[in-house]
Structures are given as C-alpha cells and as structure tokens.
A and B are shown apart, each in its own frame.
Chain A
Amino acid sequence: DIQMTQSPSSMSASLGDRVTITCQASQDIGNNLIWFQQKPGKSPRPMIYYATNLANGVPSRFSGSRSGSDYSLTISSLESEDMADYHCLQYKQYPYTFGAGTKLELK
C-alpha cells in the first residue's frame, strides 16, 4: 500500500499567517492527490484535487503544490473559518490511502 506521511500532525497559527501542510507519498502517485478540510461533526470537504486544482467554491487563499513526492497545501493568509482538520488522499493506486491528518488551531 502507498503510505501518505502527513505533517505536522497538529499546529497552531495566528490569523493572517501563511500555513503549509505537507504529505509525502511512499511511491509515485503522479498528481492523483486530494486535500480535504473537515470540521467537527461534518463530512470532509474537498479543497484541492489533482494536487493543484482548486475545488468549486474554495477561496483563492488555498493552493496546492507538488515537489517530487511531497505535496503541499498552503493557506496564504489564515482566517478563523480555516480552523479545521486537513487530510490528504492519494487515488493513484488501490487501496486509496489517506494521510493521518493535521489539526489546525488558532494560536
């Protein structure tokens, strides 16, 4: 199975900060990666698909990038509504696998 190593597991940041979360894939996944945001008691919401594409309705402060086997989700200027858990998912190879998640909190 492809392992998705997500870091950090948790972080605290201030409003207006630039925040970056990373997933490292254990094998080549091409750009077959999605970033999700999940708030307590809610379903995951896709934010970025195919590594770099903004999903419908997602604010432009969110972006996705890739460097080799490292995939990053960046929030350019943190807003209070961005406090949530974030997950990455690879859908290149079965079984599809998620990262362990990042809890983003307000400092």
Chain B
Amino acid sequence: QVQLQQSGTELVKPASSVKISCKASGYTFTSNYMHWIRQQPGNGLEWIGWIYPGNGNTKYNQKFDGKATLTADKSSSTAYMQLSSLTSEDSAVYFCARGSGYNPFAYWGQGTLVTVSS
C-alpha cells in the first residue's frame, strides 16, 4: 500500500536551515508529483509546491521562493524539503502528499512539526 513516511519533529534556531524528508513506498516514486503543504498553528493550509521525482522538475508557490527548496532522491524514494533563513513564522506542520488518478492529493504523510525557537 502507498505510504509516505515523514521525518520527525525538528526544533531549530532562528536564521538556520532545516531539511525534512518524506520516504515513499508502495508505488513507483518517479511517476507521481510530490506536493508539500504548510499548516501554521491554528491556521489553514498553504500549498508550497511540487517536485516531479522522475526528472527533478519543480513548481513553487511564489510566496515560498527562496524559502523552500524541493529535491528528490530516486535511489531511496525520498523527497526532501529544505527550509532556509528560518523565523518564528516558519514554525508549522509540514506535509508531503501525492496524487492518484484524478485526485492530486490522494495520499498524505503524517506531517513534520518544525518549531523555530532560540
């Protein structure tokens, strides 16, 4: 079955960077877009962007240009998102998600909590 297993909670300092992962299993990793979504505490959801692991192409929400960098490692079927120049505004839960058929957000990871604090 399709599974997206995300890395664990991160506590990071302001101005630093963090790289979170999303390990895929149960399907052909290179054949589906992987989306990343942010959910700030008490707030709604925001789409960050996607990566197509088959060729490394990416598409970002302009709001996250320069903040998020999406990569993928085909050998380990793992997608990554690096967040840079962290501020308290980046404290959030981050999700990865992939599509199936006509539903581009059919499967979700369990989420990774990133807390930015000194």
Contact = CB atoms under 8 A, between A and B. Distances in A.
A95 B105 CA distance: 15
B95 A43 contact: yes
Interface residues of B, number: 19
B40 to A, nearest CB: 12
Contact of A101 (B44, B110, B111): B44
Interface of A: prevailing SS: loop
Interface in B11-52: 37, 44-47
A89 B105 contact: yes
Interface stretch (A11-19, A49-57, A61-69, A75-83): A49-57
Interface in A64-107: 87, 89, 91, 94-101
A53 B101 CA distance: 12
Interface in A36-58: 36, 43-46, 49-50, 53, 55-56
Given A94-B61, A95-B63, A50 B102 contact: yes
Interface string B79-106: 0000000000000000100000011111
Give me the 8 closest cross-chain CB pairs, A-B, nearest first: A95-B61, A49-B103, A43-B108, A96-B47, A98-B45, A101-B44, A100-B44, A50-B102
Interface of A: 34, 36, 43-46, 49-50, 53, 55-56, 87, 89, 91, 94-101
